[in-house]
Chains A and B, each alone.
Chain A
Amino acid sequence: MNFLLTILSQTGRNLLQTWGSQLLNLITISLSVLIFSFFLLTYTNMIQAGKQLGDDLRLIAYLDEEPSPALQKEYKRKILKFDAVKKIAFVSRKEAFERFKQELGTDRDVLADMPEDFLPPSIEVYPRRSLHSLTRIKAFSDYLLTMPGVLKVQYGRQWIERFYSFVRLMRIVVILSGSLLILTSTFMIARTIRLTLLSRQRELELLRLCGASSAYIRAPYFLEGALQGLLGAALGLAALYVLYTWITLQFSGSALFSFFPFTFFPLPVIAIIVALSTLFCAGGSFSSTRKILQV
């Protein structure tokens, strides 16, 4: 208990004595956490949106003529031969026309003079989650095109390609900003603590001569690093939350947000970010004290 109290009071003294550099460290760590968690939040929301898009994803194979029930069975068999799918639906010319009419809503009058069979019949294939990667979808599309009677296959290819490219880019940005967080927290803390230790050689020597244990000497610096990581992450995430609230307020009611709900991190993710930041900062401090203090 006394040991703990002494360590805590020593940590407090250290923080007070070097408050200037501590503040700078705190700001840097907070900014790093903010940048990293901002990209991570965007990335996770995009992944979520991607999943939602995936749920609605379907491949439409347009046919040259209405398939008979026997042919429908044959198509189903061929499709399932490629891979198991969630659902296969056949859309007749008439059904396609009805859908189109409904989609036009109040403008449906434009179809008044059109024949009800002007739209081609189609097969709608809803792939399973395992098929949702871009290459699999492409392969599936190519496979459907090889089936007899299929004129064209549509799945919003360009849009999906762009979306996946953006997700890939975001992944790289998240990795880079995560690395930035690790570098700043670990090396900056290590550097600051090293400088502090060098400026306190006299005190450290005295502690050693008085019989202080290695843990006694190192613990306040370790705690100092951990505290900076903890506070820096907490501040960074708090700033992100403010930013998130502002964004959701600014864009509330917009078409984009009604389609893709933009959500904040769940508690476990927040806890992991804080824990990692604390760990890296404590690690930086630990490596620094280990190098300098040859107790």
Chain B
Amino acid sequence: MQKNSNEVMVELIKVRKFYPPDVKALKDVSLSVAKGELLFLTGLSGAGKTTLLRLLYRVERPDRGLVEIDGMDVTRLSGKKLQILRRRIGIVYQDFKLLPKQSVARNIALPMEITGRKKSFIRKRTRDLLERLGLKDKINAKAGDLSRGEQQRVAVARSLCNNPDLILADEPTGNLDAENSDRVMELFNEHRDQGATILIATHDSRIYGLGRHRVVVLANGHIIGAGIKRNPAPDNGDCHQ
């Protein structure tokens, strides 16, 4: 169930982002995501999904338009305020952004150390998440030694470790088999149930085909369709716009 559905967590109004020389990543995109909502962004490669997420965690600024998270204009945030906002966001990067020479445990502990969690909490949370994702035995392995699928699950665990208010996941199941995809989605759903807002950019119809949630379709920088996915299942899950 969605919680606080009347409150907006993410708001994009007429957001435009072009890259030189002539890449039009987002063209006047407007989107509103309620608190506690799970939303899927789908579309072909190059549709603008990743750019949209990058604008949200403020590694990019829009050329035009408004990008707000929990009422804060992220384009204007800097310094301490931006740091605090980023601590509230869990991100699964498309390229994972793991530290290959560091252990799995250390990779997951990083955001928790930043927020000043106790060692005992960090150890417990890391073990719990790895167990849930089927990586319990990899806790001391170096992240660089893991398979792509395992690395992706470590990235998922790192994004969830701080129980963030907002989770931005870019292709979080791109390298996973069905069983592990389910594990990841189960964790995401649990966090949503606890009040987290989740935006998942994906091509994987298996994951957005299940459950009740909104699916937004991007193409060439435009939102070409949005609707609520109601029925539990078919692989080609269609949207009710």
Q: Is B117 an interface residue (CB 8 A)?
A: yes
Residues of B in contact (CB 8 Å), total 23
How many inter-chain contacts with C-beta < 8 Å in the A-B complex?
46
A211: which of B59, B85, B97, B117 is its contact (CB, 8 Å)?
B85
Assembly CA distance A213 to B81 (angstroms):
10
Q: Is A264 an interface residue (CB 8 A)?
A: no
A207 touches B114 (CB 8 A): yes
A2 touches B114 (CB 8 A): no
B97 touches A212 (CB 8 A): no
Assembly CA distance A210 to B84 (angstroms):
9
Q: For residue A210, which residues in chain B have a CB less than 8 angstroms away from its CB?
A: 86-87, 110-111, 114
Interface string of A200-223 (1 = CB under 8 A from B): 001101111111110010000000
Q: Is A3 an interface residue (CB 8 A)?
A: yes
Q: For residue A206, which residues in chain B have a CB less than 8 angstroms away from its CB?
A: 97, 99, 110
Q: Is B130 an interface residue (CB 8 A)?
A: no
Shortest CB-to-CB span from A150 to chain B, Å, is 79
Assembly CA distance A208 to B119 (angstroms):
21
Q: For residue B88, which residues in chain A have a CB less than 8 angstroms away from its CB?
A: 211
A5 touches B119 (CB 8 A): yes
Q: A206-B99, A209-B57, A209-B91 are in contact. Are A6 and B113 (CB under 8 A)?
A: yes
Q: Is B124 an interface residue (CB 8 A)?
A: no
Taking CB atoms and an 8 Å cut-off, the chain A residues in 134-150 that contact chain B are none
Shortest CB-to-CB span from B158 to chain A, Å, is 9
A202 touches B83 (CB 8 A): no
Closest to A17 in B: B101
**Which of B57, B114, B117 gathers the greatest number of chain A CB atoms within 10 Å?**
B114
Assembly CA distance A114 to B110 (angstroms):
96
Assembly CA distance A202 to B98 (angstroms):
9
A216 touches B114 (CB 8 A): yes
Q: Is B21 an interface residue (CB 8 A)?
A: no
Taking CB atoms and an 8 Å cut-off, the chain A residues in 1-16 that contact chain B are 2-3, 5-6
Q: For residue B91, which residues in chain A have a CB less than 8 angstroms away from its CB?
A: 209
A209 touches B80 (CB 8 A): no
A205 touches B97 (CB 8 A): yes
B84 touches A211 (CB 8 A): yes
Interface string of B126-162 (1 = CB under 8 A from A): 0000000000000000000000000000000000000
**Which of A5, A211, A212, A216 gathers the greatest number of chain B CB atoms within 10 Å?**
A211
A212: which of B83, B99, B117, B118 is its contact (CB, 8 Å)?
B83
Q: For residue B116, which residues in chain A have a CB less than 8 angstroms away from its CB?
A: 2-3, 6
B117 touches A2 (CB 8 A): yes
Q: For residue B59, which residues in chain A have a CB less than 8 angstroms away from its CB?
A: 209
Assembly CA distance A206 to B82 (angstroms):
14
Closest to A206 in B: B97
Shortest CB-to-CB span from A198 to chain B, Å, is 16
B118 touches A2 (CB 8 A): yes
A213 touches B86 (CB 8 A): no
Taking CB atoms and an 8 Å cut-off, the chain B residues in 85-109 that contact chain A are 85-89, 91, 97, 99
Taking CB atoms and an 8 Å cut-off, the chain B residues in 56-92 that contact chain A are 57, 59, 80, 82-89, 91
Closest to B113 in A: A6
Assembly CA distance A207 to B118 (angstroms):
18
**Which of A2, A5, A207, A213 gathers the greatest number of chain B CB atoms within 10 Å?**
A2
A211 touches B99 (CB 8 A): no
Q: For residue B84, which residues in chain A have a CB less than 8 angstroms away from its CB?
A: 211
Q: A6-B113, A207-B110, A211-B115 are in contact. List 14 more A-B contacts (CB 8 A).
A: A2-B113, A2-B118, A2-B119, A3-B116, A6-B116, A208-B86, A209-B57, A209-B97, A210-B86, A210-B111, A210-B114, A211-B86, A211-B88, A211-B114
A–B complex contacts, Cβ < 8 Å, 24 sampled: A2-B113, A2-B118, A2-B119, A5-B119, A6-B113, A202-B99, A203-B99, A208-B86, A209-B57, A209-B59, A209-B86, A209-B91, A210-B87, A210-B110, A211-B82, A211-B83, A211-B84, A211-B86, A211-B89, A211-B114, A212-B83, A213-B80, A213-B83, A213-B114
